[in-house]
Structure 1
Amino acid sequence: MGLLGGELAFAHALTAQERESVMALGSRKNYPADAHLLTEGDRSSHVLIIDRGWVTVSVSTDRGAPGLILGLRGPGELLGEMAALDPHPRSATVRALGPVEAQVISGDAFRRFLALHPRVSGLVIRQLTFRLRSADQERSALASLTVLQRLASRLTELSEASASAGPYAPSRASPTAGPRPAGPVVRLAQDELAATVGATREAVAKALRLLRTQNIVRTGNRMVEVLDPGLLALLADGHQE
């Protein structure tokens, strides 16, 4: 399972000249926390390049809101490229986890730029391919793994990202007093975690209780601290306590 982009973010893979040229195609826009940057089913065709902040990418499900979260995207990531390249409605909703700054580029301008810059076009194709493979893996995990396995896998992925690159999704709440976390921290609420693993909030709460009783994690307000990464990884692989 993979929620974060596994390759270098689009803007970071560009040369300095390419990046300057593509950014010049659009304009900067600020979004508040919880704002929809893109909406599933919408007919718009512009693309976004995230400059600051983090967003969720989600699709609706039969169970309704908040749907299934397919990805977390941060600085340098390109979003909305599918709607710019074909005439179909947008396939997902992009929501700001906190304040976000992004460059907004019209679909027409973006397509013209790709036609003149084959290397950049190749980067977009590689990104689309990677995300398609990731979506296939997510569907396989939903069909074959338990909620506990999916949650353990997700917490392992996000805690490793948090430990190596700082918080990927800063909490919208102000820091509270208390001891400094000893382990890596995943800063998502339980309903958001549930949406990342395709489970109900109740099922995720039950799995978290089990992980807490085994001293594998500690939970708080919009926070899961990983205390035993090794055991969590074993659970993700299917080893039971």
Structure 2
Amino acid sequence: MSLFGQGRPFLEALSRQDRDSLLALGAPRHYEPGQVMLQERDTSTFVLAVRDGWSVVSVSTERGARLILALRGAGEVIGDLAAVDQGPRSATVTALGSVEATSISGERFRQFLSARPHATALIMRQFSARLRSADSERRSLASETVLRRLAVRLLELAQRAGRVDGKGEVIVELPLPQHDLASAVGATREAVAKALRLLREQDVVHTGNRRVTVTDMELLRLLAQGRAGPPSRGGPNEKVRPDV
């Protein structure tokens, strides 16, 4: 499972000429933090080429909860599924912070793809990667602990959106509050809070106001891979143990 797209973002994978041609087909759009960019079940077909900023892709569940599927950043094209099959939007996309994008009509986007087989292949590869990620997510929800799923998410965020400070720790400053982190893990806020507390107690991460600092990347990686477990009953000060 992955919050991020696999491989190079769509715009970066295009030649500079094709990228400029695509962006010239649309109009610039600015989104404020928390503003809905695309709405689930809406019948519009325009696509958004993200030039700067982060957005979050989510769906509503039958119980009225929100499940976060992905984060989309600069270089990504979102809304492409509705543009290609002209069906209702499959998810809601919301700006995490300020987002700059280019809005391109579905018709113009389809014409762009039909004239460029390479671009069509990139979109198909993107569809395939998202399908595989969805399959992996279903397996994870059915078989993995909240701690492991949280470790996977935090490792992804550290690797893709973190910066290394002078002490070698990785700081993630995405505006992703704890309830959104819980939605990204597919667990309750209480369960994620408990798992975060364990990671803090074991000095794997530190948390602040919409900031996570990973202090032990290797141990977090072991947890994400299922190769380390929580402390045994030996005592509260016992470290998270590798499973070897």
Q: Tell whether the structures are fold-level matches, with TM greater than 0.5.
A: yes
Separation of aligned partners in 2, 1:216 and 1:37: 35
The match for 1:106 is 105
Separation of aligned partners in 2, 1:91 and 1:52: 23
Q: For 2:225, give the aligned amino acid.
A: D
Rate the CA distance shift 1:217–1:40 in 2: closer, same or farther, 3 A: same
Separation of aligned partners in 2, 1:63 and 1:11: 36
Secondary structure in 2 aligned to 1:69?
strand
Secondary structure in 1 aligned to 2:229?
coil
- Verify the 8 A CA contact 1:46 1:106 in the aligned structure 2: yes
Rate the CA distance shift 1:89–1:181 in 2: closer, same or farther, 3 A: farther
The match for 1:212 is 200
**Aligned pairs (5 A) from 1:128-139:** 128-139=127-138
The match for 2:222 is 234
The match for 2:56 is 56
Secondary structure in 2 aligned to 1:20?
helix
Q: For 1:212, give the aligned amino acid.
A: R
Separation of aligned partners in 2, 1:194 and 1:207: 10
The match for 1:23 is 23
The match for 2:3 is 3
Q: For 2:223, give the aligned amino acid.
A: L
Q: If you compute each CA radius of gyration, which structure gives the higher value, 1 or 2?
A: 2
Query: How much does 1:115 deviate?
Result: 1.2
Higher relative contact order (CA 8 A, sep 6+): 1
Separation of aligned partners in 1, 2:28 and 2:148: 40
The match for 2:234 is none
Count of residue pairs the alignment pairs up: 227
The match for 2:188 is 200
The match for 1:47 is 47
Separation of aligned partners in 1, 2:106 and 2:167: 44
Query: How much does 1:237 deviate?
Result: 2.2
Separation of aligned partners in 1, 2:219 and 2:113: 46
| % identical aligned pairs | 53
Q: Give CA deviations for 1:55-111 in whole Å, capped at 9, x if unaligned.
A: 00111113324x111111111101001101113210000000001010100001111
Pick aligned residue for 1:183 from 159, 169, 172? 169
Superposed CA RMSD: 1.7
Query: How much does 1:181 deviate?
Result: 7.5
Rate the CA distance shift 1:149–1:81 in 2: closer, same or farther, 3 A: same
Secondary structure in 2 aligned to 1:63?
coil
Separation of aligned partners in 1, 2:63 and 2:171: 29
The match for 1:119 is 118
Secondary structure in 2 aligned to 1:3?
coil
Q: Give CA deviations for 1:18-68 in whole Å, capped at 9, x if unaligned.
A: 111111111101110101110101000000100010000111113324x11
Separation of aligned partners in 1, 2:81 and 2:59: 14
Unaligned runs of 5+ in 1: 168-178
Separation of aligned partners in 2, 1:63 and 1:233: 32
Q: For 2:17, give the aligned amino acid.
A: Q
Unaligned runs of 5+ in 2: 231-244
Q: Give CA deviations for 1:94-137 in whole Å, capped at 9, x if unaligned.
A: 00000101010000111111111111111111111111111111
Once the two structures are overlaid, the 10-residue window that deviates more, 182-191 or 130-139, is: 182-191
Query: How much does 1:215 deviate?
Result: 1.0
Once the two structures are overlaid, the 10-residue window that deviates more, 151-160 or 91-100, is: 151-160
